[in-house]
């Protein structure tokens, strides 16, 4: 039996004594579209950054696709497609140059990388080849990051707010591609604040709050009854109408 796509145990990370991720334990099965939700500052991005090896955890263990981090870091990175929250694009390259560069960094021969870059640019309607990435709109940048995550055909996608700033047509295209990737056996680990999108795409969901998982399970189980994912989210995160106290507003 294949090892899970992600197996995290008792993961901890603190900043200045304040825990950002506090004993996180999580298993994401292979071939799963996994939604990782939480309010702002809950620890989602920190978790993704630890999973990609960008920051080391204070304690706990991480296994990705059956490989241990940090011991097998380079092997893990070869099999991951990353769409981070912050820009990971080089502004002084064109979209085509950047995609080819990323392909070659993942070990693709130059010709193959260039060909795939051209096809991905076409797919994501980024054909303005002569424009530098620094001149792209926010949506174009996200689409470029998505294309870069696809170029080496990874087994696992780690995506932090991939649809942020993307227009409806672009978002639809990205969703279709991601669903296709899941059908071919890839795993997607996604964070998003757009709960409707998560509700429609994901098989399983975890909600993190103050660095800890407060809810985890199959989407169908979580939505039992009349509750929407938003209702579940607001209930478990404990949001209140704080603005009611601002009588001047």
Partner 1 sequence: MIRAILRAQWLSLRVFHRSAGRRGAIFSLVLALAWYAFWGAVAVAIYGVTSEPELAPMVAHWLGRGLLLIFLYWQLAPLLTASFGASLDLRKLLIYPVPRGSLFTVEVLLRITAAGEMLLVLAGGVLGLFRNPVFGGWAAAPRLVGASLLFLASNLLLAAGLRNLIERVLEHRRVREVLVLGMVILVALPRLLISMGVRPEGMERLLGPAEGAWWPWAAASAVLAGRDAGANLAVLAGWTAAAWLFGRWQFARSLRFDAQAARASAAGTRPRAGGLAERLYRLPSVLLPDPLGAIVEKELRSLSRTPRFRTVFIMGFTFGLVVWLPLIVGRSGGRNPVVAEHFLVVVSLYAFAMLGQVSYWNALGFDRSAAQVWFAMPVPISRALAGKNLAAALFILVEVAAVTAACLALRVPIPPLRILEAFLVTPVAALYLLSVGNLSSVHFPKPIEPERASQGGGANRMQGLLFLVYPLALLPIALAYLARYGLDSEWAFYLVLAFAAALGAAVYWVAMESACNTAQARREMILAELSRTAGPVMTQ
The reply on whether position 185 binds partner 1 by CB under 8 A is no
Coil, helix or strand at residue 185: coil
CA–CA separation, 203 and 224 (whole Å): 14
With respect to partner 1, which residue has the nearer C-beta, 152 or 209? 152
The reply on whether position 19 binds partner 1 by CB under 8 A is no
CB atoms within 10 A of CB 101: 15
Task: Name the minimum Å distance from CB 54 to partner 1.
Answer: 5
Span from 24-32, 84-92, 211-219, 231-239 in contact with partner 1 (CB under 8 A): 84-92
Q: Is the bond preceding residue 237 a cis peptide, omega within 30 degrees?
A: no
With respect to partner 1, which residue has the nearer C-beta, 105 or 234? 105
CA–CA separation, 197 and 230 (whole Å): 11
* 13 strand-pairing partners: 21
Q: Dihedral (C-alpha) 119, 117, 184, 217: value to the nearest 10 degrees?
A: -120
Using CB under 8 A as the binding criterion, the count of chain residues that bind partner 1 stands at 36
Determine the angle formed by the axes of helices 110-123 and 95-105, rounding to 10 degrees.
130
> Among residues 82, 166, 186, 190, which is the contact residue for partner 1, using CB under 8 A?
82
Footprint of partner 1 on 42-61 (CB under 8 A): 52-56
> Among residues 40, 71, 74, 247, which is the contact residue for partner 1, using CB under 8 A?
74
> Among residues 35, 84, 170, 211, which is the contact residue for partner 1, using CB under 8 A?
84
Task: Name the minimum Å distance from CB 203 to partner 1.
Answer: 26
182 to each of 2, 33, 107, 202, how far by Cα in Å?
A: 16, 7, 23, 10
> Among residues 25, 29, 58, 105, which is the contact residue for partner 1, using CB under 8 A?
105
Exposed/middle/buried for residue 183 (C-beta within 10 Å: 0-12, 13-18, 19+) = exposed
Span from 31-39, 80-88, 189-197, 240-248 in contact with partner 1 (CB under 8 A): 80-88
Which residues of this chain interact with partner 1, rule CB under 8 A? 52-56, 74-75, 77-78, 82, 84, 86-94, 97, 100-102, 104-107, 109-110, 129-132, 134-135
């Amino acid at each position: 039996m294949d090892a899970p796509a992600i197996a995290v145990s008792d993961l901890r990370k603190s900043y200045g004594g304040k825990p950002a991720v506090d004993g996180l334990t999580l298993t994401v099965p292979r071939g799963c579209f996994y939604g990782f939700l939480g309010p702002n500052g809950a620890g989602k991005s920190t978790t993704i950054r630890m999973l990609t090896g960008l920051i080391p955890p204070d304690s706990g263990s991480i296994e990705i696709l059956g490989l241990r981090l940090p011991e097998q870091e380079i092997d893990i990175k070869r099999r991951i497609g990353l769409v981070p929250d912050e820009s990971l694009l080089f502004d002084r390259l064109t979209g085509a140059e950047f995609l080819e560069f990323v392909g070659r960094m993942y070990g693709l021969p130059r010709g193959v990388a260039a060909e795939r870059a051209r096809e991905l640019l076409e797919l994501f309607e980024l054909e303005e080849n002569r424009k530098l990435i620094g001149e792209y709109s926010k949506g174009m940048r996200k689409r470029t990051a998505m294309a870069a995550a696809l170029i080496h055909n990874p087994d696992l996608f780690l995506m932090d707010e991939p649809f942020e700033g993307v227009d409806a047509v672009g978002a639809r295209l990205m969703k279709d591609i991601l669903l296709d990737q899941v059908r071919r056996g890839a795993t997607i680990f996604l964070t998003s604040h757009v709960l409707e999108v998560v509700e429609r795409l994901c098989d399983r969901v975890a909600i993190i709050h103050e660095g800890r998982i407060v809810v985890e399970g199959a989407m169908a189980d979580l939505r039992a009854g009349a509750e929407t994912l938003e209702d579940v989210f607001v209930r478990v995160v404990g949001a209140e109408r704080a603005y009611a106290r601002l009588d001047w507003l």
